[in-house]
Amino acid sequence: MTNLLQNKVVAITGSSSGIGRAIAIACAQQGARLVLHHLDTPEAQADVESLLASLRGNDAEMSHSNSDSDSNINSNSHGHSTYSADITRPDAAQGLVDNALQHHGKLDCLVNNAGICRFADFHTVSQKQLEQHMDVNFTAAYMFTQAATKQMVAQGHGGSVVFIASITAVLGSATLTHYSPTKAAILGMTVSCAVALGEHGIRLNSVSPGTIETTMNKAHLDADNRRAEMTAKVPLRRLGKPEDVAKAVVFFASDLSQYVTGQSLLVDGGASINYQ
């Protein structure tokens, strides 16, 4: 199926690399106009410029392939905007919404993807590290969801919020004792906000990835034969790719899931069901 997100405006936090980048590409391929959030750093700026170039290339290829079909298909596919901010700033959430309204006139879907994950032994985790993970992974997502859904309520035609949680929200990890509670909090927010906002036609769902190979966890996977050990636990016998998560996000962002809310989908290749 194609054009699942045609005429929809999708804002994605942490979109310049990794899972966020894959989500952006997948949503654009389905016809969405994007608000691409990234950190205000030279590295992130370079990443988002590379992403925009990739999106333009994909758009040109899709426009050529659709040249003899419906002229409205992908007519807005070059209309993406970018937004740079530290998501823990008090004004960052409303800034994202304002960007969507300024450039696109509305906001249909928010993908709370931005996050940090720094591996550490339990007894070495400081209060500052714990607070940093909570501020970025949970509190910022809460405030962005609040700002985005307030706009969706005002628009009066529903909307969708997708959270990127983690398999560690429900399964333990010795080196992520400070990270997994933030993702468990995301699952709690998903179900409670789904109840609170359901009357407005706003759906809230979570995608919980298993081990996905990204630059964030490359060093961890490269150490002590971890990649092979983690792969052996997965029934599908491979680690996840960012594109695997992106496909699940497209489902929740689109009308395919119009009667689905308050749910969390594990995208883990079956690792969570493999009792060894």
pLDDT tens by residue, 199-237: 999 999 999 999 998 877 778 788 878 889 889 999 999
Element spanning 142, H or E: helix 140-155
Is 183 a known active-site residue?
yes
| pLDDT at site 223 | 82
Per-residue pLDDT, averaged over 163-181, amounts to: 94
Cβ contact 206:164 at 8 Å: yes
Per-residue pLDDT, averaged over 238-259, amounts to: 97
Per-residue pLDDT, averaged over 180-194, amounts to: 98
Domain annotation covers residue 273: no
Q: Give the largest CA-CA distance in the chain.
A: 62
Into how many domains does the chain fold?
A: 1
Q: Is the pLDDT of residue 69 over 50?
A: no
CA distance 200 to 193: 11
Reference 132, options 179, 187, 169, 177; nearest CA is 179
Report residue 60's pLDDT band, with 50, 70 and 90 as the boundaries.
Answer: low
Per-residue pLDDT, averaged over 114-139, amounts to: 96
C-alpha distances in Å from residue 194, one per residue of 169, 180, 204, 262: 18, 21, 5, 5
Annotated catalytic residue within 8, 83, 179, 257: 179
Kindly report the backbone phi and psi dihedral angles of residue 244, in degrees, each rounded to the nearest multiple of 5, phi listed first: -65, -40
Domain annotation covers residue 3: no
- Per the structure, the complete domain to which residue 100 belongs is given by 9-268
Cβ contact 116:129 at 8 Å: no
Is 126 a known active-site residue?
no
Domain annotation covers residue 274: no
Q: Is the pLDDT of residue 109 over 50?
A: yes
Domain annotation covers residue 144: yes
Q: Is the pLDDT of residue 66 over 90?
A: no
Domain annotation covers residue 148: yes
| pLDDT at site 72 | 29
What lies within 8 Å, CB to CB, of 266 at 6+ separation is 167, 208, 210, 272
Domain annotation covers residue 260: yes
The reply to whether the predicted model has a pTM over 0.75 is yes
Annotated catalytic residue within 183, 208, 254, 257: 183
Per-residue pLDDT, averaged over 156-160, amounts to: 97
Average pLDDT, the chain: 91
Domain annotation covers residue 92: yes
In the numeric block, which tokens belong to residue 228? 């092979």
Report residue 262's pLDDT band, with 50, 70 and 90 as the boundaries.
Answer: very high
Cβ contact 241:212 at 8 Å: yes
| pLDDT at site 78 | 57
CA distance 208 to 248: 10
Is 63 a known active-site residue?
no
Q: Which domain CATH number covers 177?
A: 3.40.50.720
| pLDDT at site 59 | 62
Domain annotation covers residue 276: no
Report residue 61's pLDDT band, with 50, 70 and 90 as the boundaries.
Answer: low
Annotated catalytic residue within 160, 166, 180, 254: 166
| pLDDT at site 97 | 98
